[in-house]
Chains A and B, each alone.
Chain A
């Protein structure tokens, strides 16, 4: 029971964090179809901006400035770089944004140094929210979860219930038609990209104070955010949330499980043989927990290529 409850709690919160980082990418990659490999760099940038601002103007100011700054950077990137290569397709976008990601990483190192910077949450948020089975549950984890949930609700309402949402969805689905109806599609695209970047910036500002803010933080999450969007289904916000939660829960439970393939073979009386072979057969699930998202992606792509809640395909 203790294992189940704690693993669920950890998994849900980690899943929400993943959603927070990938929500912007759902807009950018999922809806607009822009292959933005630098998305996690926006996340990193957010954390560093928040760190720089918070050291003089306080944590909450940092939390507000970071998404605005990163949103502006994102807008500029779309307007002056991505728009030029968009017509040439995904390969060019990938190359451009991959280059941007590398530049962002090295720039951050030049400005802030190679080591993690000391970006801390305010002391007012440093307390245990509650205690489960003798383990303190840090409030900040709950806080991150709440931010992610708010992000989801606001985005979902915006996209499904407002006029802005209708225009954005129309621009993404039938750009020519929307343009013919008098909407400025390039401006819509730039704004959506900027908003996506701003969301990543906010995620960085929030998560950077909990996980260390270092030059590798983009690298660490760079691929997983794509996994979330692909598993969830391109362009589906609900899908991204579902995929994030699934990945969070799977990762969390996998760590606590010491099973190996040999244990399963033991059920049919082949345990000894499997153990004597060693290698993959005796590898415990917990030691490969970080690969689970990718296994999940493989499975989803095989069974349901459009993703869990994707509409296409």
Chain B
């Protein structure tokens, strides 16, 4: 029946050019909106909504406003798979997700399978935050786009910048969470030994957000006597680690990936001063236009993962603008191809898609926690100050050989 109607529409389109009911583009946010990761999932959703509001303010797509539906994956892949089926049934064209690589692994496979089974009726997946290497490695496929950095990009940027500043030291300790992301971080820290001219004096993988007491880990770090501790830890694992280090009076510098998660700076207090972070954007790294506009729309300055989600949808907006939409059905493959060719000018530099694996080539911002910051965090007087914006070409890493992408004809 669907086939028949498609043919009918095609015929109608080609012969009579009669005005048809335009199909609105439907975007589904399948995010952790309840459960332990709500704090992260909600931030991703914020950024996505901001971006979609922009698209709609500029006239939408296909002559219709873009529709957005939120699905709560409750923080787990099983629920996410359920919600994906729901999104399928709702006729969602593009799904967006960011919190948790485990969920991303599930969704990207779901999208891949959907596209095999439904040629001509594809879905695509804009990954705004899941950083596991396998998503652009063995699991890569044409309809997955990763609009975030990965472990090697963050570590490369941190190491290069801190070395340039003479803050890295020669002894580096790596402490990470024991799952794909933490393992990627650990591998990236090890891989940069030569480039950063340091020695990895210890590496630890620990359980994810289960440890209440980091004092034993701090004792271990102290025994190794490092100058810098590199960690990809997020949420409690980062906060508790920093606090325990501060309480023990241990003078080390932290190089982190998620220090800007709201609540961290206030809870860590003075301990956080001087620590580094590498992420997609910082308000101090660009002029205030994006920050002010975001605040006007959402009531607060963009923080944590909101900017990268907003940039991803910004890129989508540019891609959509490059398609001459004629008011018919939404062609996801065409959007994906347009997105591949889109270079989005973010406030900190261009973001483009690498065609071989659909990883974005994007600037990485390295910042440091300072007192009396221009954009204070968590109601304290501390905040982040940009140290360097590492351009995309410098931060990017080679395409993983495991990615064998099959392109649509």
Contacts and interface: CB of A to CB of B under 8 A. Distances in A.
Interface stretch (B209-217, B335-343, B389-397): B209-217
B207 A291 contact: yes
B263 A115 contact: yes
A211 B247 CA distance: 12
Nearest to B249: A136
B219 interface: yes
Contacts of B38: 109, 114, 215
B213 A220 contact: no
Interface residues of A, number: 48
Contact of A118 (B210, B218, B222, B379): B379
A159 interface: no
B396 to A, nearest CB: 30
Interface string B249-290: 110000000000111101101000000000000000000000
A138 interface: yes
Given A211-B240, A212-B239, A118 B39 contact: no
Contact of A290 (B207, B263, B378): B207
Contacts of B222: 134-135
Interface string A227-261: 00000000000000000000010011101100000
A199 B36 CA distance: 25
Interface SS of A by simple majority? helix
Nearest to A137: B248
B219 A135 contact: yes
A116 B42 contact: no
Contact of B263 (A13, A212, A284, A286): A212
Interface string A113-136: 011111010000000100100111
B219 A256 contact: yes
A262 to B, nearest CB: 16
A181 B261 CA distance: 59
Task: Give 3 nearest A-B pairs by CB, closest first.
Answer: A136-B249, A116-B263, A290-B207
16 contacts: A2-B223, A13-B215, A115-B263, A116-B239, A118-B378, A120-B269, A138-B247, A138-B248, A141-B247, A212-B243, A216-B209, A253-B216, A256-B216, A290-B206, A290-B207, A290-B210
Interface of B: 34, 36, 38-39, 42, 178, 204-207, 209-213, 215-220, 222-223, 235-236, 239-240, 243, 247-250, 261-264, 266-267, 269, 378-379
Given A131-B249, A221-B212, A255-B216, 19 more contacts: A3-B219, A3-B223, A13-B215, A14-B212, A14-B215, A114-B38, A116-B236, A116-B239, A116-B267, A135-B250, A136-B248, A212-B239, A220-B209, A253-B216, A255-B220, A256-B216, A286-B204, A288-B178, A289-B206
Interface of A: 2-3, 6-7, 10-11, 13-14, 17, 106, 109, 114-118, 120, 128, 131, 134-138, 140-141, 210-212, 214-216, 219-221, 248, 251-253, 255-256, 284, 286-291
